[in-house]
Amino acid sequence: MQESLRYLNRSLTSKNWRIANLNLLRKILVEFMYEDLITTETKALDNKNYQHRLNLSPDIYYTFVGSLRIFGNWNIDKGSIRLYKNSEEVHELSVSDFICYAYKLIGVDELTLGHYLRELNHTLIADCHLISNDQNINKKLLSLPDFSQLDGYMHAHPWFVINKGRLGFSYSEYLCYAPEIQNLLQLSWLAVKKDSSKFNSIDGLDYQKLITAELSKSELDDFYKQLNNLDLKQSDYYFMPVHEWQWQRQIIQLFSEDIVKHNIVYLGKSNDNYLATQSIRSFNNQSHRHKFQVKLPLSIFNTAVYRGLPGERTELAPVLSQWIKLKLANDDFLNQQRLVMLGEIASINYDHKVYQRLPGVPYQYQELLGVIWRENVNNYLRPNEKVITMASLIHIDNNSVPFINSLIAKSGLAIDDWLIKFLGVCIPPLLHWLYKYGVVFSPHGENTMLILDENYYPTGLVLKDFIDDINITSIDIAELEDLPNVLLDTLYRLSDEDLAQFIHTGLFVVLYRYLSDILCSYSNYPEEVFWQKVHDTVTAYHIKHPEFQTRILEIDILKPKFKKLNLNRLRLLDVGYGDYAQRPKVESRVLMDNPINAAYLSSRIQYVTTSDNHE
């Protein structure tokens, strides 16, 4: 209790609360305007900046200054945000007040409003903890010895405005399990009856080999002893980790019959220390930095979904990884590109005996108990290399300095030269998988990592989260003929338009939209130059690979427009907080300009040139 109060008093100060509210209010204005949830009156101040007025009622309005960006989104000067009520300025800016003023205008119902405000406050509290961490400065971040430590300093999903809602955690649980607290955790373990669970792995890795790599002899002996004390046969059980929150809050209550029958036996905690990643449910081993990453179901609600593990996909993760790794091993181009793909090499799934028979129940009850073991990127690094989460490239530290600026400065390269290397390792592998294999990933900042050499030059791309985020073409192409039928029946099969959307949205909107904006805002690096480099990287790949010309033309990643998706609208207006049998999917409302389309880029460059000459 005293430790919780110490954290609370240190983090939840008036100063931190003001900063957190202002930062989140700015983000809400940026993203709600981008998704057309709110509309402002604008007045040009000069060739780049506009004065905005957002009228929320006859007596309440906000004003702020913003500059237009290439996606049609606005970069807002947070220091310019003002609130006026009854013609008088209100000096205390509150995110909750803004939502209460705006929800009717947006069209949000009161049930959604209540839950949304709760998620907002959870996010603000987490932001206060990040603000209070005086180690969140780039000099410190660049010197961290391991990639998993960097994760704890990140500000979570850049697009979702309630990106740290984590509904289900109490404050003490937040302090224990949230990545920004960087609390070292020991995993809890269960023995689960083999006839009630399913173990799957890649070829060459059986259960015994896996478990002896994960647990020491003394830990295994202790677990076996516990089974013997209950007169249970060791050979009848698998050992699997479980998140302690999940055990306390879900498994005991929902699997009570299995516990009574000793189908599930709680064994206690292992000795290794782990750190939680930004995904909350995945953990990196800190005691042995080359052991597997562990992914566990966690039935908290965060960034639009419950963070469970779907049973069927958990079971198929090693099958998909084996197919992916085989393609990678036999592809000369991908190997030349220095692409690392972290296989989900083993899994255990334990279905609930009742819920699994009821496909119409909320999906959270179908994703309760399982584990996926994933390869550790440290096993793929060469001497003097390091790896960073791609999300760090859009991180702003507590001194208001972008991480990307400090990283490029560390390399000694000009922004142009560093970006050419960066884009050259990131984009071609994704295009290759798309055109040759009909496979797309979700390459946002938390699903990808960047390999750096000793000079901090980008040298390789790391991809992960296959079973959750891989989709395949609906066209029957030769490269998919050896894909196991169970995967053909399970993975989503998409049209060419939707395949391209994973590049347009997953990479361009979710990551590069913010990266280009940061470089423009903090380094005066024109967005048009950034996106011209993206365009040049794409077209260079197209020129070098004429064998894919037909697919390149059919998919048409350079087309003038693509679908505009709206993540915040999904929660506020489309699905609210209802419990559904399937995870909600984001639907497109309108089309938006493609920033790598040649004609659009040309028009933007002409506009910027004309504006600069005017100055």
DSSP three-state, residue 263: coil
In the chain, which stretches have pLDDT less than 50?
A: 609-615
Residues 415 and 553 both lie in one domain? yes
Residues 392 and 501 both lie in one domain? yes
Determine contact, residues 365/581, Cβ cutoff 8 Å.
no
Candidates 326, 436, 453, 315; CA nearest to 387 is 453
Neighbours of 145 (CB within 10 A): 8
Measured distance CA(511)–CA(168) in Å, rounded: 28
Classify strands 471-473 and 493-494 as parallel, antiparallel or unpaired.
Answer: parallel
DSSP three-state, residue 362: coil
Residue 604: give its domain's CATH number: 1.10.510.40
Q: Token pair of 246, please?
A: 């999940």
Residues 399 and 435 both lie in one domain? yes
Q: Token pair of 345, please?
A: 């090499």
Q: How many domains does the chain have?
A: 3
pLDDT of residue 3: 81
Q: Token pair of 122, please?
A: 């959870």
Determine contact, residues 366/355, Cβ cutoff 8 Å.
yes
Residues 364 and 418 both lie in one domain? no
Write the DSSP string, 118-177: HHHHHHHHHHHHHHH-TT-SHHHHHT-SSHHHHGGG----SS-SSTT--BT--HHHHHHH
Residue 342 lies in a domain: no
Residues 395 and 329 both lie in one domain? no
Residues 461 and 603 both lie in one domain? yes
Rounded-to-5 percentages of helix, strand, coil across the chain: 50, 20, 30
Last residue of one domain, picked from the residues 59, 74, 107: 107
Residues 425 and 526 both lie in one domain? yes
SS3 sequence of 36-72: CCCCCEEEECCCCEEEEEEEEECCEEEEEEEEECCCC
Residues 558 and 608 both lie in one domain? yes
**CB burial string 25-42: b at 16+ within 10 A, e below:** bbbbbbbbbbbebbebee
Residues 396 and 362 both lie in one domain? no
Q: Token pair of 21, please?
A: 């509210």
DSSP three-state, residue 253: helix
Q: Token pair of 222, please?
A: 């202790």
Candidates 554, 555, 584; CA nearest to 572 is 584
DSSP three-state, residue 317: helix
Residue 134 lies in a domain: no
- Give the tens place of pLDDT for each residue, 364-406: 999 999 999 999 999 999 999 999 999 999 999 999 999 999 9
**CB burial string 331-351: b at 16+ within 10 A, e below:** beebeebbbbbbbbbbbbbbb
Residues 406 and 303 both lie in one domain? no
Cα dihedral: 72, 77, 80, 82 (round 10): 60
Residue 613: alpha-carbon gap to chain centroid: 41
Measured distance CA(469)–CA(492) in Å, rounded: 9
Angle of CA points 559, 560, 563, to nearest 5°: 85
Last residue of one domain, picked from the residues 107, 128, 143: 107
What's the pTM value of the predicted model, to 2 decimals? 0.95
pLDDT of residue 46: 84
Measured distance CA(64)–CA(60) in Å, rounded: 14
Residue 53: give its domain's CATH number: 3.30.310.280
Residue with tokens 């989140």: 24
Q: Token pair of 121, please?
A: 């406050």
Residues 268 and 385 both lie in one domain? no
Residue with tokens 């990283």: 407
Determine contact, residues 344/282, Cβ cutoff 8 Å.
no
Determine contact, residues 406/518, Cβ cutoff 8 Å.
no
SS3 sequence of 172-187: HHHHHHCHHHCCCECC
Residue 205 lies in a domain: yes
Last residue of one domain, picked from the residues 347, 370, 393: 370
Cα within 13 Å of Cα(168), Cβ side:
21
Q: Token pair of 422, please?
A: 């960066």
φ, ψ of residue 525 to 5 degrees: the values are: -95, 115
pLDDT of residue 608: 53
Measured distance CA(45)–CA(67) in Å, rounded: 10
DSSP three-state, residue 44: strand
* Residue 402 backbone zone (phi > 0: left; psi -120 to 50: alpha; other: beta): beta
Neighbours of 291 (CB within 10 A): 18
Write the DSSP string, 276-304: E-TTSSEEEESSSTTSPEEE--EEEEETT
Residues 6+ apart with CB under 8 A from 455: 411, 412
Neighbours of 91 (CB within 10 A): 7
Residue 146 lies in a domain: no
Measured distance CA(430)–CA(255) in Å, rounded: 41
Measured distance CA(106)–CA(32) in Å, rounded: 10
Residue 166 lies in a domain: no
Residues 285 and 416 both lie in one domain? no
Determine contact, residues 63/84, Cβ cutoff 8 Å.
yes
pLDDT of residue 607: 54
Residue 534 lies in a domain: yes
Angstrom CA distances, 440 to 178, 221, 268, 496, 497, stand at: 30, 44, 40, 11, 12
> Helix axis angle, 513-523 relative to 527-544, nearest 10°?
140
Candidates 412, 422, 415, 408; CA nearest to 534 is 422
Q: Token pair of 508, please?
A: 């361009």
Q: Token pair of 447, please?
A: 């699903």
Residue 214 lies in a domain: yes
pLDDT of residue 90: 96
Cα within 13 Å of Cα(538), Cβ side:
25
Q: Provide the residue range defining the domain that includes 228.
A: 171-336+355-370
E strand segments, 262-407:
264-269, 274-276, 282-285, 293-295, 298-302, 305-307, 339-341, 344-349, 370-374, 386-389
Residue 386 lies in a domain: yes
Determine contact, residues 556/583, Cβ cutoff 8 Å.
no
